[in-house]
Structure 1
């Protein structure tokens, strides 16, 4: 189960048809996995699917939209950024900063 469903991601992207549903589903899974790794925990486990803070949900939506709109590593003649602006700021507030020392 994902935190963000395809209809919500499509609303973020302003997409009305079903042509890219499979692609968008993969982008959602990848974005949630990416953010979980940055956080150091699984959002769905910690918060449950419906209790994930709104700003973390927004981070997922921003990343899905960014990856959907920028599918190439390099865009010729266009300035591109690796991650949406502010994404790391959102994640930083929730990140698990503990370090295992053996």
Structure 2
């Protein structure tokens, strides 16, 4: 994982361990989504870029706060504003 559980909990101002397993799933899912978007594994980076770390934190936090696939009565976004912008420069483009 490029993002530790402690870093995500710090991002979200969470204490305690009750949701640690759930948070680990969100980190893994966010990293998987990012890998799918940029077209390369995070292990290929010598050092994980800060933009990818921040995107992972934002996406995992978003999914934790919005746990259901359907929102009723409010506007929702597929991914938080700016996540795609953060990872765009690290995308492998094919011609």
Bin the TM-score by the shorter chain: over 0.9
Separation in structure 2 between the aligned mates of residue 78 and residue 13 of structure 1, nearest angstrom:
22
- Provide the secondary structure at the position in 1 that maps to 2:85: helix
Separation in structure 2 between the aligned mates of residue 90 and residue 8 of structure 1, nearest angstrom:
18
Whether 2:44 is the aligned partner of 1:79: answer no
Identify which range, 18-27 or 69-78, moves more after superposition. Answer: 69-78
RMSD: 1.0
Whether 2:59 is the aligned partner of 1:63: answer yes
Q: Which runs of 5+ in 1 are unaligned?
A: none
Give the number of the structure whose alpha-carbon radius of gyration is greater.
1
Q: Please give the per-residue CA displacement for 1:5-54, whole angstroms capped at 9, x wherever unaligned.
A: 111111111111100000000000111011011110011x2114xx1111
- Provide the secondary structure at the position in 1 that maps to 2:62: helix
Q: How many residues align?
A: 95
Q: Which runs of 5+ in 2 are unaligned?
A: none
